[in-house]
């Protein structure tokens, strides 16, 4: 009788194991352990990112403010039309050049629409990390003054390209130069 009870208890324990404990352990518990492992991994990654962010913030604070302003001027994240015109006018004034008829050509604004290419009958659009627009103005100066003005524009921190220059002849030596420049900024 003692053996029979022992066998029944062992068979009951095996039945409970295969009927309840094993399915519960391999089902929801295993899924939860897998989710915990994924969340722990994400938490460790977030901690690494937070450490990297703190390190980069500390490095950014070590950058000289004047150098940081120069970088912002070189790679602005938006176009400030008024400041752009003031910058160009400041360079012109320093060279004795008078600026007039300033205009910004919004229809020539470019961004992601500037790099279309046709490939196998499908229009492919290149995504650019920058945008640009055309600034036009009339500069009144002698040729040497205008040449110095262009040299200073070339050496300025502002990222721009002179795309067109036209001028009218003059007997006085003071010319009117119609200038178009393309100005760039980051998106």
* Average pLDDT score over residue span 141-152: 91
Across the chain, mean pLDDT equals: 81
Does residue 117 have a pLDDT over 50? no
Strands 116-119 and 98-110: unpaired
Strand order in the sheet with 130-142: 98-110, 130-142, 174-186, 160-168
Q: How many whole angstroms separate alpha carbon 98 and alpha carbon 89?
A: 8
Residue with tokens 């990222």: 159
- Residue pLDDT, tens place only, 33-50: 888 999 999 999 999 999
Token couple for 88: 């160009």
pLDDT value for 121: 54
pTM as predicted = 0.54
Domain boundaries of the chain, sorted by first residue: 1-62, 76-186
pLDDT value for 94: 92
Does residue 28 have a pLDDT over 90? no
Helix (H) or strand (E) holding 147: helix 143-155
Query: CATH number of the domain at 76-186, please?
Result: 3.30.70.60
Residue among 162, 158, 164, 166 nearest 182 (CA): 162
Who wins on pLDDT, 29 or 119? Answer: 29
pLDDT value for 53: 94
The overall longest dimension of the chain from CA atoms, in Å, is: 131
3-class secondary-structure state, position 48: helix
Token couple for 76: 């602005």
For the chain, give the number of residues: 187
Q: How many whole angstroms separate alpha carbon 77 and alpha carbon 67?
A: 16
Q: How many whole angstroms separate alpha carbon 155 and alpha carbon 63?
A: 23
Token couple for 167: 């001028």
């Amino acid at each position: 009788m003692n053996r029979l009870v022992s066998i029944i208890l062992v068979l009951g324990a095996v039945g409970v194991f295969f009927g309840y404990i094993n399915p519960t352990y391999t089902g929801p518990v295993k899924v939860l352990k897998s989710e915990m492992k994924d969340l722990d991994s994400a938490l460790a990654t977030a901690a690494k990112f937070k450490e990297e962010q703190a390190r980069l913030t500390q490095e950014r604070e070590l950058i000289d403010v004047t150098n940081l302003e120069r970088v912002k001027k070189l790679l602005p994240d938006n176009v400030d039309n008024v400041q752009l015109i003031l910058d160009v006018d400041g360079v012109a004034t320093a060279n004795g050049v008078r600026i007039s008829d300033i205009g910004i050509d919004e229809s020539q604004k470019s961004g992601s629409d500037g790099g279309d290419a046709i490939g196998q009958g499908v229009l492919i659009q290149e995504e650019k990390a920058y945008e640009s627009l055309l600034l036009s103005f009339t500069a009144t100066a002698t040729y040497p003054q205008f040449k110095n003005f262009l040299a200073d524009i070339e050496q300025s921190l502002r990222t721009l390209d002179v795309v067109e220059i036209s001028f009218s002849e003059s007997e006085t030596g003071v010319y009117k130069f119609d200038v178009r420049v393309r100005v760039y900024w980051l998106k």
